[in-house]
Copies of this chain bind each other. A is one copy, B any other.
Amino acid sequence: MSDLSNNLKTLQANVFQMYAQAHGYHWNVEGMLFKELHAFFLEIYEDVFDSIDPISENIRKLDDTAPFGARSWLQNSTIDINDNEILSPVEMLNELYSTNEAIISQLKNIFKIADVSDEQGIANFIAERIDKHQFWRWQIKSTLKKSVI
């Protein structure tokens, strides 16, 4: 069980970083697609931020305590976001895509641990998050597709 709990702590920190990244791009994006991408990053950061609470509650349900604060999240996270404040829209989308891929991969791993640990309530929640992060994957990827406008 402590394996599951530790994995959720890493997930919490990574998910927090993805939230911050999307929120930061929401503020700093520029160019003719400003309004479109400003709104797109908003959709993403709101969804990702809202998952931090249930992830932390699941850590508590496993009788562990939930980390918090910039220092803890920096230590616990296994992904390094690009926090450069000046990026082009395409760079922003590519950076977010990478972060999202890393989280999908971690989520699939945690699903298996929860399943083996007989924690079906948690497994069920993780499955819903996989669904959502694959949704962002499709949407970011489609946006990055080259096309005759």
Contacts and interface: CB of A to CB of B under 8 A. Distances in A.
B138 A61 contact: yes
A34 B71 contact: no
A149 B32 contact: yes
A28 interface: yes
Looking at chain A's contact residues, the main secondary structure is: helix
A85 B70 contact: no
A86 to B, nearest CB: 6
Interface string A110-149: 0100000010111111111011111101110111111111
Contacts of A8: none
A28 B128 contact: no
Given A27-B56, A29-B142, 12 more contacts: A23-B56, A24-B66, A32-B89, A33-B36, A33-B149, A38-B139, A61-B135, A69-B81, A70-B73, A89-B147, A120-B126, A125-B131
8 contacts: A20-B68, A23-B56, A23-B68, A33-B33, A34-B143, A63-B141, A72-B83, A124-B124
